Structure 1
Amino acid sequence: MGKGQDLWKTAKTVIPGGNMLLSKRPEMFLPEQWPAYFSKAAGCRVWDLDGRDYIDMSIMGIGCNTLGYGRPEVDDAVKRTVDLGNMATLNAPEEVELAQRLIALHPWADMARFARSGGEANAIAIRIARAASGKDGVALCGYHGWHDWYLASNLGDESKLAGHLLPGLSPNGVPKSLRGSVFTFNYNKLDELEALIRKEEIGVIKMEVSRNYDPDPGFLVSVRKLADQHNIILIFDECTSGFRQAFGGLHKVYGVDPDMAVFGKALGNGYAVTGVIGKRDIMEAAQNTFISSTFWTERIGSVAALATLDVMEKEQSWQRITDTGRAITARWQALGQRYGLPLVTAGVPALTGFSIKSANGLAYKTLITQEMLAAGYLAATSVYTCTEHTPEIVDGYFAALEPIFKTIRECEDGRDINSLLKGPVAHSGFTRLN
């Protein structure tokens, strides 16, 4: 079981759910076998508490570390900040420089606000947009965090968010008075958004530019036109997609500008920093409400973001990780064809994933994770690419993966998948842990 699983058992007795992030729960990967905790990380390698090292061909710090773990230029900038002082009574000048940098990358924007997590940044954006629009109604599409405003979608019908990344999210603890303030529509379903605008008092459209699939031709342009026609504020949540396919927001690839955009994850290469940018007349509404927090003023986040942007620009990291992701996706598809498996891929190239459409799909995912772990890889059915995923590392990953696909083919032909698993099947979506 290892020290990691021992500690995880203890964690569940002192921390509700065991940790702070659903996506890092071992049950989401390999129940009772996943290493759970790390002692060190560098490049695309992770060491567990028992000293074993693994190549991370999984979610790379939940998509934060596009430059790899422990990138020297970023870490050195943070270390200098620690020596100089991270927090003081006065403000950190780097936040002004970061605001200018993000605005320069997105000429449609004029102002910026910063936070330390994606959920916070999305809540800030909604607060500002509602203040600017004077309307409470939000039409949303995608995953935007854990705050009340978002989970209010599930009040009265807990299936509303089922198609927006995580099924099974309960709105327990969210005031029932928020029911009817947030409404969902499905990606590429313009008619659903049009119906919401006709029926409800919508002041804000909040959506991801893309997560699993590309936009249909004209979809984003049509959303932009609808927002303009009805005086609705359009927010693109780029916490996940930002800086992966362009130097800035993914919306730059499609040539559609929002009124506000939210950035996170990759912005600080593992350090806590998120940002909201927007047009001046909208962003200044922040002065007419209350948005304030002590640790949004610490220095490390802004310093890390500036250093990260420097490395990204120098190496054109977005192009490298996109190319790597496309190559991985193509090789998955080729394996699926070779072994006659009903394999489907999805995601922007640098956040690529696959699934095997079978009644045993989740068991196959578990088998992949189990066998790849034994081969020295943190791996399941998604790869969030980074600049440290060299062709040699990718080749090694596929050399270890192919025999597992052969075994899955045998299972599709009648072999008992359960006889191959050494523990329970991985969880899918939100499941309460005891």
Structure 2
Amino acid sequence: MEYNTGKGQDLYVEAKKVIPGGTQLLSKRPEMFLPDGWPSYYSKASGCEVWDLDDRHYYDVSYMGIGANVNGYANPEIDKATKEAIDSGGMCTLNAPEEVYVAEKMLSLHPWAGGVRYAKAGGEVVSMAVRIARAYTGKDIVLFCGYHGWHDWYLAANISNTNALNDHHIAGLAPAGVPKGLGGTNLPFHYNRIEEFYALVEKNRGNIAAVVMEPIRNDYPKDGFLEKIRKTTEKEGIVLVFDEISAGFRLCAGGSHKVLGVNPDMATFAKGMTNGYPLSVVIGRKEIMDAAQDTFISSTFYTERIGLAATLKNIEVYERDRVWEHQIAVGRRVKAGWADSGTKHGLPIEIGGIDPLAHFGFDVEEPLAYKTYVTQEMLKRGYLASTAFYSSAAHTDEIVNEYLENIDAVFEQIADIRASGVDIKEKLDGPVCHSGFGRLL
């Protein structure tokens, strides 16, 4: 059977001729979902509903704008605020007052902090945090845990060890174009492995500027992991940076560290903070953030008004409606549904992630083939689906119930295929999906 690809895949073929890699974001590459079959482009999105270029309708039960749209696509209140900002002038020689209002709001949510700077994207603002931490301490080495973007300071880990980043969310990130002199300036450790962290501190004592880490992503901290890192960084004079790009505005209004009970020295935010508009923020203790004045950080579009206005309204709606409670409850229901269906149909699945950022995988020899089959069959049923579910305010009980009924039916199909002894790849209408970063030909 061939895919009913339509205009989206046709346009993607053209895109790869003029855009290296096809898209601006690895996580949006059609090859990561359903090569030759993913709709690729949208004409309209609202709530958790999406229409492709052929006006085919889907429910997004996957990544919801790669985690950005916690209040749903085209949220009327948030979009109204952005339209008012546009009508008032999105850019001007003078500064937008929303710069101050958003800063004050972020500091009210995080009373430990005393300063704020802006950028436009998540990886960019983490890079800014690293620069500020190095300026403040006068030291070079950064210890890190987790995924933190595409910038030189991060990819440099793969100069000394080509596999250093492979198990930090995305594999295959070659450091092509990163100056070789940056090798050894950033060193990885793994989540919940405190002895790894202690060993790096001991080996590099006196030369460490910062520890950059996601406070939580897939697993909760164990045995006082965050507290031990906090105690060590305080003792050693190391700046502790929590990357809240993914986890922020999932477990509460603000950073997940508020729920986990450990305050960093700096924290970065984007995604769920803005509901899909371009703005990122780094906050930090006043004396550290003041070091931003000692190093040159300046950009015209860090001052545009639209992202600031959207962020201000998004936080207001998020707090008022206590959206995190809905995100957690929905994510918990979906994880329970996966588990029930997996058990019922005898499938070897593993479920992980914090409740609002849930995911599952197949414990089989070729898991990507199974993942591709799920996406293929759910697409036929009108769902943008994969093996992850990022919950949002737009995921109603009715939508979730219908999703779980459909995923259960697909799990039953997989069980039947396994029972028949047929290779699941024979049931795919196209190639197996990609995993990690790879050059597209």
The normalised TM-score by structure 2 is 0.97
Map 1:165-176 → 2, pairs under 5 A: 165-176=169-180
Contact 1:325 1:352 in 2 (8 A): yes
1:243 partner letter = F
1:292 maps to what in 2?
Answer: 298
Matches of 1:31 and 1:46, distance apart in 2? 19
Matches of 2:184 and 2:353, distance apart in 1? 30
Map 1:119-134 → 2, pairs under 5 A: 119-134=123-138
Matches of 1:153 and 1:24, distance apart in 2? 24
- State the aligned residue count: 434
Contact 2:8 2:52 in 1 (8 A): yes
2:268 partner letter = V
2:168 is the counterpart of 1:161: no
2:372 is the counterpart of 1:366: yes
- Aligned residue for 1:234, secondary structure, equals strand
1:307 partner letter = K
Matches of 1:411 and 1:198, distance apart in 2? 53
> Identity over the aligned pairs, expressed in percent?
52
Matches of 2:404 and 2:344, distance apart in 1? 13
2:429 is the counterpart of 1:426: no
Structure 2 residues without counterparts, runs of 5 or longer: none
1:281 maps to what in 2?
Answer: 287
1:370 partner letter = Q
Contact 1:154 1:171 in 2 (8 A): yes
2:300 partner letter = T
2:220 maps to what in 1?
Answer: 214
Matches of 1:412 and 1:374, distance apart in 2? 21
2:37 is the counterpart of 1:33: yes
Matches of 2:225 and 2:161, distance apart in 1? 27
- Aligned residue for 2:401, secondary structure, equals helix
Structure 1 ranges of 4+ moved more than 6 A: none
2:432 partner letter = V
1:82 maps to what in 2?
Answer: 86
2:13 is the counterpart of 1:6: no
2:103 is the counterpart of 1:99: yes
- Aligned residue for 1:60, secondary structure, equals coil
2:69 is the counterpart of 1:65: yes
2:307 maps to what in 1?
Answer: 301
Matches of 1:419 and 1:285, distance apart in 2? 58
2:249 maps to what in 1?
Answer: 243
1:421 partner letter = L
1:229 maps to what in 2?
Answer: 235
Matches of 1:286 and 1:360, distance apart in 2? 48
2:438 partner letter = T
Contact 2:370 2:424 in 1 (8 A): yes
Over residues 120-153 of structure 1, what are the superposed CA-to-partner deviations in whole Å (9 max), with x where a residue is unaligned? 1001100000111111000000111100000001
- Among 335, 343, 363, the alignment partner of 2:341 is 335
Contact 2:160 2:184 in 1 (8 A): no
Contact 1:196 1:202 in 2 (8 A): no
Q: Which shows bigger deviation, 305-314 or 399-408?
A: 399-408
Deviation at 1:412, TM superposition (A): 3.1
Matches of 1:409 and 1:215, distance apart in 2? 34
Matches of 1:412 and 1:182, distance apart in 2? 44
RMSD: 0.8
Over residues 328-353 of structure 1, what are the superposed CA-to-partner deviations in whole Å (9 max), with x where a residue is unaligned? 11111111111122211111111100
Structure 1 residues without counterparts, runs of 5 or longer: none
Map 1:260-279 → 2, pairs under 5 A: 260-279=266-285
Matches of 2:208 and 2:198, distance apart in 1? 11
Q: Which shows bigger deviation, 328-337 or 169-178?
A: 328-337
2:8 partner letter = G
Matches of 2:373 and 2:314, distance apart in 1? 36
- Among 20, 25, 33, the alignment partner of 1:21 is 25
The normalised TM-score by structure 1 is 0.99
Matches of 2:403 and 2:197, distance apart in 1? 42
